[in-house]
Amino acid sequence: MTKITSFDLTPFYRNTVGIDSLFDRITRNIDMATNAGNYPPYDIVKTGEETYEIRIAAAGFRQNEIDVEVKDGQLVVHGSHNAELREDVEYLHHGISNRSFIRTFSLSDYVEVQAATMKDGVLTIRLEREIPEAMKPKKIAIDYQS
């Protein structure tokens, strides 16, 4: 169990309305991260003011072996490796992983997946936060009357 999941969050629930799902999401993500291990390795890069990239090292995966899906505010990347060890080859050392994987990333509000590309064994998923005009701060002009 991680340190944050051992805290009693009841005092926060008492003083807020509608934020309980935020705490549930945080603790669920921490638990998933500790159980997921570190395969495959990935980077999250801020490429602009409102743009990001997730880069996943997915060498050896073919075109039909990786799926990228957005569901319920979660970005799910699933790699299913179909390769098996060849029996006609004598491996002296077998260090290249043939594991399948599932990586899940929580997306913030208004973050949309723009594209996913695979090049040189790196899966790059481009993300952009597009805040609706109604949600952006706006300055209200004051009409002074005499």
| Res 61: pLDDT | 87
Question: What is the distance between the alpha carbons of residues 36 and 78, in angstroms, rounded to a whole number?
Answer: 12
pLDDT exceeds 70 at position 38? yes
| Res 1: pLDDT | 46
Domains, the chain, ordered by start: 1-36 (no CATH), 39-135 (2.60.40.790)
Confidence label for 66 from pLDDT (cuts 50, 70 and 90): very high
Predicted TM-score (pTM) of this structure: 0.67
- Per DSSP, the three-state class of 72 is coil
Range scoring the smallest mean pLDDT among 9-13, 30-34, 97-101: 30-34
Residue 35 near residue 46, CB atoms below 8 Å: no
Q: N- to C-terminal Cα distance for the chain? A: 65
